[in-house]
Structure 1
Amino acid sequence: MAVRFLQKASVWLKKRKITLLAVSCVGLFGANLSYHVFPEQTFKLLHECWSEGQPAELSQRLCGVFQDVLQDTAVKSTESYRAFAASGFHPVSAGIPWLPAGSLVGIPPNFDSTIEDKKGIVNHVVVINGKKVDWESNEGVALKEALTFSLGAQKFAIAREVMYLQSSSPLASAVVAPACLAGTFICGRVIKLLLGLSPGPVILHAICNLVTAAGGLLCYYIFYDAVTYHLDCKADRKAATVSKDYARGGVEFYDKILSRNRILRGLMGKEGIKMYAPSGNLFPRYWFRIKYTPYTYRRDLIVLSGRTELHPGLLIFCKGL
């Protein structure tokens, strides 16, 4: 019975290969984009900051800063962008501005702090390795300093999220998986035709399919990482070119992120060593992949953007940072 079922399934799949491929590609694209199509029901629930059992409200000051950023970045429809209080230490975003649901930008509570008043940090409990951070200790003072950004740095961090969404970056990122799936299928068919395997044994078909699938997965990782780097750097450059204050704020923002990560590396012990490089970049080693654009590269790109542009190919040298 099982053999007959597999034979029938194999015949059915052969007849409907193109249909299944189209459905799979559309499904992948929709799954990757669902996070941005319904940001209120997915993204916000995941990143929302809570205080005393209730969703935290964004302060009037940060609401004003957010509106200033929208004006500075020349956003056409400000109603498409909404801000909320997010957990974490730096802004996050999701959504597609021209869709009915619009876009959401999450601003963390530490952005409510200033050099004069650090209440946005010390009023929140930060737990590392099961222990609350003592803001009066040497590590606590250093971490508090690394989490306190100037107005220019805050505006840059928010602006880069706005620029990321304004450039329809979520769409570009969502296209990678279905494009690689379709490319893998086409390459598999071409290889079989060139090698004359179409009428060949089932074992050779299986081996060819496995090799093609492995190659397709490898290509997916490479292209996805490359697209991520390109989109991150594009958003950084656009935010830095708003004004000189934004550019200076961008350098400060990444400098303090690197400083924060170095402090966390020490506080977290073995887990910190696995997560952060000595320079402060995320995940120093991950096989052949570079899952995150190095913060050192992003900072240097802002510094050099006024004088020269680095070729994207130089990104490979950031792997060791």
Structure 2
Amino acid sequence: MATRFGKWVLTRTGRRLAGTLVLTGAAGSFLGYYLPNTIFLSGYKEVTCLYKSGIEVPVSGQVTSLLDEVMNDLGLSQLEKKISVYTAYGFDIFHAGSTMVTSGGILGVPINFKYSSVEEFDPTNVTVNNKPVAWSTAAGESLKQSFVLSKEAKKFVLAREITSLGTAEPFVYGTLSAGAIGMVYTMASSVNTKLDFYAKPRTIRMFFYGVLSIFGYAFWMLLKDMATVNYEANADRTVADLGEKYAIGGLEFYEKILQRNMALYKLMGSEGEKLYTAYGNDQVLLRTKHMPFTLRRDYMKNRVEEYKKEKGEAPSADEDIQTQKFSLDIDSQTQNTLDINPQTQISPNIDTQTLNTPDSDVPTQSSLDVVDVQTQNTSNADKQIQNCTDAGGTQTQNTLGVDTITETSPDVVTQTQTCSCEDTSTQNCAPTVVPVEENVQN
């Protein structure tokens, strides 16, 4: 029976039926994305809505007011009627559909959007994996704080979701899915015809179809993930362009998301380690389904700094870039003759003192001549302090030493070359090299 069916598939009628089935599968994969985001959008809303005693939890007036402000800022007030807002289950915002079609879209706002302070948060019915949360622990307290967002952060999230609703994202995903199926079938049909695979053993054809299917599935995953990351990046960029307040809100929001995930990473134990990394990103194996939260946070941080630079404000204290400047003022009109030729490389926060001990028997030379002073500010660089005193005909001992190292960068090696004399008699000092390693954390 199997042999007869296999031979029938190789006939012209069988090939046509196979082509029809592939076309049906491609259309079905497209409809799998299209229907839930258009015709069945109301059913999508019912599944993701938050209920209390069998009744939908209404949207708070605060959220409605923020939504009006965001729509005005985006210049999309005319599209507000095409977006159905409701209270979503869980603590993640949700959207589906598209304002590009007549059915519009839905926007599910989590319950924590009505909180303005930690005191308003009610942890009574909040569970993690259907288990009560240890709110008294450090992770529990961090989780509680991550649920409370400022007005700017809430507006950023609403604007980001509304921007996403203005794209054809779900329909693009459906097209990619259908296209991947059609691509695999076309490639298989072409190879069968050109290499006459129909005349070869069935096991070879099955192996070839399997390899080609894996390739098509991997190609579809790659395209879909790339499209998702691109849509998310464009939404962040569009909202950040609205102004500094939106960028600040975005920075706060992604920091709170990372804080929440890190808290869940600890509270959920081994299950949390499967879902999140220690830094708060989603765990990934072969796919990057979403843009990492750390990258989105860093992008918002850069946008905030750009806005501050445009306004001429000084960098904030928590910036990663720290600039320290040192100046050495030399009066060119003052000539003091003392045969000292120091070549100094000074790192930030290193205090140097020059100690001159003149001998009473030696006539005082009235001028001090500093021949070369080269100062370089470097972090994680080699510092060399070289002091040489020419004592020819003098009994004066001059030393240039590093008195205090108040703060150095890690892995900084300081080499000091000094001229030392055993007594105060006239002699020529030969430099000695003493390596000193400092590993001091700021």
- Name the CA shift for 1:45/1:110 in 2 (closer, same or farther; >3 Å): same
| 2:219 pairs with 1:229 | no
* Aligned residue pair count: 304
The secondary structure found in structure 2 opposite 1:106 is: strand
Indicate conservation of the 8 Å contact 1:38/1:95, yes or no: no
Q: CA deviation at 1:178?
A: 0.7
- Residue identity over aligned pairs, in percent, reads 26
**1:14 matched to which residue of 2?**
15
Q: 1:294 aligns with which of 292, 295, 303?
A: 292
**Alignment of structure 1 residues 24-103 onto 2, 5 Å:** 24-38=25-39, 40-75=41-76, 76-103=78-105
Post-superposition Cα deviations, 1:123-176, rounded to whole Å, max 9, x if no partner, equal: 662112443335565443322211111111101111111111102211122222
Cα separation, 1, equivalents of 2:112 and 2:97? 23
Q: CA deviation at 1:99?
A: 2.9
Indicate conservation of the 8 Å contact 1:80/1:102, yes or no: yes
Cα separation, 1, equivalents of 2:2 and 2:263? 58
The secondary structure found in structure 1 opposite 2:86 is: strand
Q: CA deviation at 1:14?
A: 0.4
Q: For the aligned residues, what is the CA RMSD?
A: 2.4
Partner amino acid, structure 1, of 2:292: P
- Name the CA shift for 1:202/1:245 in 2 (closer, same or farther; >3 Å): same
Q: CA deviation at 1:305?
A: 5.2
Indicate conservation of the 8 Å contact 1:94/1:105, yes or no: yes
Moved more, 263-272 or 190-199: 190-199
The secondary structure found in structure 1 opposite 2:85 is: strand
Cα separation, 1, equivalents of 2:262 and 2:48? 24
Cα separation, 2, equivalents of 1:192 and 1:184? 12
**2:277 matched to which residue of 1?**
277
Q: CA deviation at 1:267?
A: 0.8
Indicate conservation of the 8 Å contact 2:98/2:167, yes or no: no
- Name the CA shift for 1:60/1:81 in 2 (closer, same or farther; >3 Å): same
Indicate conservation of the 8 Å contact 1:26/1:178, yes or no: yes
Partner amino acid, structure 2, of 1:98: M
**1:112 matched to which residue of 2?**
114
**2:176 matched to which residue of 1?**
176
Q: Give the TM-score normalised by the residue count of structure 2.
A: 0.64
Cα separation, 2, equivalents of 1:50 and 1:210? 45
Partner amino acid, structure 1, of 2:23: A
Cα separation, 2, equivalents of 1:266 and 1:244? 33
Indicate conservation of the 8 Å contact 2:197/2:205, yes or no: yes
Cα separation, 1, equivalents of 2:73 and 2:3? 66
Bigger CA radius of gyration = 2
Q: Give the TM-score normalised by the residue count of structure 1.
A: 0.86
Partner amino acid, structure 1, of 2:293: Y
Indicate conservation of the 8 Å contact 1:85/1:108, yes or no: yes
Cα separation, 2, equivalents of 1:84 and 1:207? 49
Partner amino acid, structure 1, of 2:116: T
| 2:305 pairs with 1:303 | no
Q: CA deviation at 1:107?
A: 0.4
Partner amino acid, structure 1, of 2:187: C
Larger helix fraction of residues: 1
**2:143 matched to which residue of 1?**
143
**2:238 matched to which residue of 1?**
238
Moved more, 2-11 or 43-52: 2-11
Cα separation, 2, equivalents of 1:172 and 1:300? 28
